[in-house]
Structure 1
Amino acid sequence: MSRPPMTPQKRRQPDSQTQPPALPESERIVYELIKSRKNMGIWIADIKREAGIQNIIVTKALKSLQSKNLIKDVVNVHNKSRKTFMAVEFEPSKEVSGGSWYSDGSLDTEFINILRMMCLKHIEDLRIATIEDIHKCIAASRIMKVECTMQQVLEIVRALALDKEIEELKSTGVAEFSMVQSGKICYRRSRGRQGPSVGHLSSIPCGMCPRISECTPEGVISPNTCVYYKQWLKLEF
């Protein structure tokens, strides 16, 4: 009896997720060392010390790996002078990037102050507001040029409570809390603080702008060129 013809087995392809790309030896050593540090990255001095190859070869390997889009240099907020490298598939950890309040390695004070101002405004407007209410109002206003997260709003609101600008309360579900579920954490403007009765000028972006001292009618920083001021007035050109 003749046997059926053998079906050739397909050769298993290497897993592209785990196998390093084909690289010259020096680049492979440097790449694997960088990739092993994942989202923490590695300082260039540590690469040169741990790679076990000449510094000039390490430098050439780094340039080649960057040109191949396999690695990137990132800013470590704790030591900006240290050049740190990371494989492109990783995003820097909070320990490296500083978290959501940092931009390009620097604390984004403008974003923080604008978000703080927006939280205060919406708490005043709503009288009693939950975190979800505040976040929804900020998103709907479209004044923020960068989308903010619920966690960022929560951190700002907690800071405002510590500064005694607002009060953190538990809803009773009745009277002024009638729109909030009983037992839910909510916020209102601290009693004795200026509220919306003083008019909307109290909550314009200028009031909390970190560069207000540099703002002049004809200067580089000016009400005529301020994006936040125009959006506040709904004068988008």
Structure 2
Amino acid sequence: MDDETSILKDQLYAACEDACGEDPDRLFSQDDLMGLGVVAPKDVKKLLQIIQLLTKERLFSPVHFHSGLAWRIRPEAEAAKYKLLATEDQILAYEIIDSAGPEGAWQQDIKKRLNIQDNALRKALKELETKRLVRQFTNVENASKKMWIKFSLQPSARATGGPWYTDQYLDEAFIDALQSVVLGIVKEKGSYKSTGERHARGVSPVLPKKGVIKGGLSEAAIKSKKRSADAISKDDALVSTSKIRKAVRLPLPAGYTGYPTVQEIAASIDQLQVAKGQPLEASHVQELIDILVWENRIEEVKMGDRVGYRAVRISKHNPEDTQLDSEDFWDPQTNGLTTVPCGKCPVFELCEEGGPVWAGGCEYFNQWLS
């Protein structure tokens, strides 16, 4: 190699480094390398000579596409590691593992590509492992596969399952705990607390069991058990004023634009430090949110060019009917039978057709229907 070629080689590599900028994985085609202006225009022969030299020194890593061949630059410190390898099997095996990146390379795939015996491959990998150039890891998709990765890299989330896996097993308890945290954050920031007196429904009195008296009950016995409708209303008022309503969450008004976004939820989780040792990114939080949306526990809210989230099934009609003890703000399940006067009638046990108390002449029904 003459001095001119050596200088052009160094200049082309430096030009590629500058062109990569913040994208170290950028690929360069032949036209891209020619466009850097290092080699004279249309001097393809010189360019190919320099590319060959850079590839031989492991400073260029070739990448094959259907449309042709491209090259990715390799840091000088990484290229120097190839000089530590003594045999061709070690060099080729390390190159395959190096090219696989964070996904790792399957041992059987390495063997197939090198076309060597098992003993030779195991010996080469053992030497690479001893020199701390590669290491073995387990892929969650198939734990029986022997996977190899560069010693300085961490396996990708696809290979290890990301934060949802612990020792190659799906950590369901951790996922459930984080879902509860996400739901709590959405409820906290997607609704507001309202307090005040609770207008509770009256509590039905304890009624005596129906007794069997020969000849029927006397009018005095009936009057002693029967109360007027006004008396019942007064008793219910005393019950309702004696209870104070707990804090209840209510929906925010239409047009509200402060619902938490994915990034804000992720930031809140980071502040709570509930995922210690597990780096949670916005994409991981989005996976939890997608599950909650699918389960119909939270819903998306469009806020201009942003997307927020709020808890679903918050009572939007009558705040007094909001079910206080429901974690997910389920609307109370009510119908006409739950409010009919018979449910709290003090002489219900005496009511029968043709008797002293019957539905056709009930004064409680008159007040309920008025």
Separation in 1, partners of 2:117, 2:260? 61
Q: Which residue number corresponds to residue 187 of structure 2?
A: 124
Q: Which residue number corresponds to residue 325 of structure 2?
A: 198
Q: Is the Cα–Cα contact under 8 Å of residues 128 and 134 in structure 2 kept in the other structure?
A: yes
Q: Which residue number corresponds to residue 300 of structure 2?
A: 168
Separation in 2, partners of 1:99, 1:67? 27
Tell me if 1:159 matches 2:304. Answer: no
Match of 1:79 among 130, 139, 142: 142
Instruction: Measure how far apart 1:165 and its partner are.
Output: 0.3
SS for the counterpart of 2:77 is coil
- Alpha-carbon distance change, 28 to 74 in structure 1, aligned in 2, over 3 angstroms: same
SS for the counterpart of 1:144 is coil
Instruction: Measure how far apart 1:192 and its partner are.
Output: 5.0
Separation in 2, partners of 1:184, 1:40? 33
TM-score (normalised: structure 1) = 0.63
Instruction: Measure how far apart 1:196 and its partner are.
Output: 9.9
Larger strand proportion of the pair: 2
What amino acid is the match of 2:274?
Answer: I
Separation in 1, partners of 2:263, 2:147? 38
- Alpha-carbon distance change, 114 to 21 in structure 1, aligned in 2, over 3 angstroms: farther
Q: Which residue number corresponds to residue 41 of structure 1?
A: 104
Separation in 2, partners of 1:160, 1:55? 48
Separation in 1, partners of 2:99, 2:267? 40
- Alpha-carbon distance change, 33 to 163 in structure 1, aligned in 2, over 3 angstroms: same
Q: CA RMSD in A?
A: 3.0
Sequence identity percentage:
29
Separation in 2, partners of 1:90, 1:78? 19
Deviations 1:96-149 (A, max 9, x none): 333443344332323321211100111122224332332232222223323422
Q: Which residue number corresponds to residue 97 of structure 1?
A: 160
Q: Is the Cα–Cα contact under 8 Å of residues 298 and 309 in structure 2 kept in the other structure?
A: yes
Separation in 1, partners of 2:100, 2:268? 40
Q: Which residue number corresponds to residue 64 of structure 2?
A: none
- Alpha-carbon distance change, 24 to 53 in structure 1, aligned in 2, over 3 angstroms: farther
Instruction: Measure how far apart 1:160 and its partner are.
Output: 0.8
Q: Which residue number corresponds to residue 60 of structure 1?
A: 123
- Alpha-carbon distance change, 183 to 87 in structure 1, aligned in 2, over 3 angstroms: closer
Q: Which residue number corresponds to residue 17 of structure 1?
A: 78
User: Which gives a bigger RCO, structure 1 or 2 (Cα 8 Å, sep 6+)?
Assistant: 1
Instruction: Measure how far apart 1:85 and its partner are.
Output: 1.0
What amino acid is the match of 2:143?
Answer: K
- Alpha-carbon distance change, 45 to 184 in structure 1, aligned in 2, over 3 angstroms: closer
Q: Is the Cα–Cα contact under 8 Å of residues 76 and 96 in structure 1 kept in the other structure?
A: yes
Separation in 2, partners of 1:191, 1:101? 29
Structure 2 stretches lacking a partner, 5+ long:
1-9, 11-56, 58-75, 192-258, 316-321, 329-370
Which structure is larger by alpha-carbon Rg, 1 or 2? 2
Q: Is the Cα–Cα contact under 8 Å of residues 163 and 280 in structure 2 kept in the other structure?
A: no
Tell me if 1:184 matches 2:306. Answer: yes
- Alpha-carbon distance change, 122 to 27 in structure 1, aligned in 2, over 3 angstroms: same
Deviations 1:147-176 (A, max 9, x none): 4222222221122112100121124xxxxx
Separation in 2, partners of 1:83, 1:156? 31
Q: Is the Cα–Cα contact under 8 Å of residues 185 and 265 in structure 2 kept in the other structure?
A: yes
How many residue pairs get aligned? The number is 178
